[in-house]
Amino acid sequence: KERTLGMIKPDGVSGNYAEEIKRIIVEAGFSIVKERLTQLDKETASEFYEEHSLRSFFPDLVSYMTSGPVLVMVLEKRDAVTDWRGLIGPTDAQKAKISHPHSIRAFCGKDSQRNCVHGSDSRSSAEREIKFFFKDVVSD
Ligand code: ATP
């Protein structure tokens, strides 16, 4: 089995979508192995998204990601990375509503920034992102 990092972003948590999203996750065959509600500060959000640090939207991305708590989860199933990316849908939630109407971003995202959820885009980023959020957590 494979693990990936799933995150319900601030708009998803404050919009009260977390329970429904977790229901969709379990329904799709994932186990939620670990979860943690956490408030990102500027430094942590910038480090998490450092690959985007030169993009024009980076300052907006950091203020969005620090605007309220996020729920981070370790999700496990066979092909977890690919399957979770498929379940969340494309980055731009407006486009998701048209091309992937059953995706999570179509359901609770607003636009290309406030897209409700995050998923690791490869096995190597999954490994990095799981360590990023769960390295101090004891047990499995
Ligand atoms: P994530 O990494 O959060 O799962 P993604 O891989 O679909 O999303 P990326 O291109 O990695 O998308 O962008 C990271 C995040 O930056 C997006 O999820 C979104 O919140 C924000 N973002 C991306 N593109 C834009 C944009 N053009 N304008 C504003 N925000 C954007």
Q: What is the ipTM of this complex?
A: 0.92
Distance of CA 16 to the CA centre of its chain: 15
- What atom of ligand 1 comes closest to residue 51's alpha carbon? 11
Interval 96-110 mean pLDDT: 98
Per-residue confidence band for 139, with pLDDT thresholds at 50, 70 and 90: low
The answer to whether 52 is a known catalytic residue is no
pLDDT at residue 132, rounded to an integer: 97
**CA distance linking residue 62 with residue 42, whole number of Å:** 6
Mutate to test the pocket of ligand 1, among 113, 114, 122, 133 (most ligand atoms within 8 A of CB): 113
pLDDT digits (tens, 9 = 90+) for 51-96: 999 999 999 999 999 999 999 999 999 999 999 999 999 999 999 9
Contacts (Cβ under 8 Å, ≥6 apart) of 31: 75, 76, 77
Per-residue confidence band for 137, with pLDDT thresholds at 50, 70 and 90: low
Per-residue confidence band for 6, with pLDDT thresholds at 50, 70 and 90: very high
Q: Where are the domains of the chain?
A: 2-134
Q: Ligand 1, atom 1: nearest CA belongs to which residue?
A: 118
- For the domain spanning 2-134, the CATH number is 3.30.70.141
pLDDT at 14 over 80: yes
Q: Look at residue 64 and give its three-state secondary structure.
A: helix
Q: Which neighbouring-strand residues pair with 75?
A: 4, 32
Dihedrals phi, psi of 76, to nearest 5 degrees: -130, 130
CA–CA distance from 102 to each of 24, 95, 107, 137 (Å)?
11, 12, 7, 33
Residue 112, CA atoms < 13 Å, CB-side half-sphere: 4
Mutate to test the pocket of ligand 1, among 4, 88, 91, 129 (most ligand atoms within 8 A of CB): 91
Residue 44 marked as a ligand binder: no
